[in-house]
């Protein structure tokens, strides 16, 4: 039996998310999720930000609430990687979250896509383990919310590119052969969470939207870091504002 045979929707879960994270009174329906501490620092500087809950994953992960354009929005910083981000997502769903906006960086498989450009993933290649516990076997998992997200970005005049993404667990095993295979199939980015969190959201029947912004480039003779580790504060402010504008429209 391999990992692709592990999906089981016929028997009961031994540990339920609600066993770990109970419902929180008046928890915001809309949740914004970042991977960057610098984004969370911006949130904490906003007027009216309050801590409303927390999770424990070896250390405390606070969940904050802000009011943006009249809507209460929860915000937290998740972990990098499909398994970790999916586990925390499960707990926030148990607390009361129903609509999620994830945003984070990715590598590009197309050198023509400039650093900082926004990507709307339409499907994710399942080169990770978590999604196989939440969805039947397939090479790709479709992103059901992609068209709605694209409509919102057009509405707020944010340029973007739609395309498939390669979700992998193994950052240091992104080999050239595998990269070329994904590129030939139509993937334009690589990241570590999309397939996992989309599978969770579809299994739990909640809405999850994700946009990516490009940093490094794999489509070159050697790896090109581009803006990785050098993203300015102004760019993080822009990415947060975009996420909040999406959140009040979903």
Class of domain 26-247: alpha beta
pLDDT score at 5: 84
Residue 29: how many CA atoms within 13 Å on its side-chain side? Answer: 6
Average pLDDT over residues 61-78: 98
pLDDT score at 52: 98
Residues making up the chain, counted from first to last: 250
CA–CA gap between residue 56 and residue 54 (Å, rounded):
7
Q: How confident is the model at residue 137 (pLDDT cuts 50, 70, 90)?
A: very high
DSSP reduced 3-state for 244: helix
pLDDT score at 97: 98
CA–CA gap between residue 21 and residue 92 (Å, rounded):
8
CA–CA gap between residue 108 and residue 220 (Å, rounded):
10
**What residues have CB less than 8 Å from 196, skipping those under 6 apart?**
82, 83, 85, 86, 128, 130, 131, 167
CA–CA gap between residue 138 and residue 31 (Å, rounded):
28
Q: Is 192 a residue whose pLDDT tops 90?
A: yes
- Can you give the pTM of this predicted structure? 0.96
pLDDT score at 113: 86
Q: How confident is the model at residue 4 (pLDDT cuts 50, 70, 90)?
A: confident
* Domain boundaries of the chain, sorted by first residue: 26-247
Region of 174 (left: φ > 0; alpha: ψ -120 to 50; beta: rest) is: beta
Kindly list the distances between the CA atom of residue 47 and the CA atoms of 30, 42, 68, 139, in Å, as whole numbers in the listed order.
19, 10, 10, 44
CA–CA gap between residue 18 and residue 15 (Å, rounded):
8
pLDDT in tens, 82-136: 999 999 999 999 999 999 999 999 999 999 888 789 999 999 999 999 999 999 9
Residue 53: how many CA atoms within 13 Å on its side-chain side? Answer: 25
DSSP reduced 3-state for 232: coil
pLDDT score at 160: 96
Least trusted range by pLDDT, from 78-82, 111-115, 153-157, 199-203:
111-115
CA dihedral for 151, 156, 162, 165, sign (positive or negative): negative
């Amino acid at each position: 039996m391999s990992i692709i045979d592990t999906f089981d929707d016929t028997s009961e879960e031994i540990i339920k998310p609600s066993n770990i994270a109970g419902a929180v009174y008046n928890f915001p329906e809309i949740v914004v999720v970042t991977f960057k501490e610098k984004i969370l620092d911006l949130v904490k500087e906003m007027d009216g930000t309050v801590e409303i809950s927390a999770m424990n994953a070896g250390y405390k992960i606070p969940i904050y609430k802000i009011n943006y354009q009249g809507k209460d929005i929860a915000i937290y910083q998740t972990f990098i990687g499909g398994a970790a981000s999916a586990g925390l997502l499960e707990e926030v769903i148990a607390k009361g979250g129903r609509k999620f906006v994830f945003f984070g960086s990715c590598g590009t498989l197309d050198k023509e896509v400039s650093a900082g450009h926004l990507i709307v993933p339409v499907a994710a290649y399942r080169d990770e383990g978590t999604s196989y516990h939440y969805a039947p076997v397939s090479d790709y998992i479709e992103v059901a919310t992609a068209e709605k997200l694209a409509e919102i970005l057009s509405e707020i005049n944010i340029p973007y590119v739609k395309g498939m993404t390669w979700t992998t667990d193994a950052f240091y095993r992104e080999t050239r052969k595998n990269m070329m295979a994904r590129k030939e199939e139509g993937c334009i980015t690589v990241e570590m969470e999309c397939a996992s969190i989309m599978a969770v959201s579809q299994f739990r029947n909640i809405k999850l939207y994700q946009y990516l912004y490009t940093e490094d480039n794999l489509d070159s003779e050697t790896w090109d870091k581009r803006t990785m580790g050098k993203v300015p504060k102004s760019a993080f402010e822009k990415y947060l504002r975009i996420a909040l504008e999406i959140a009040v429209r979903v």
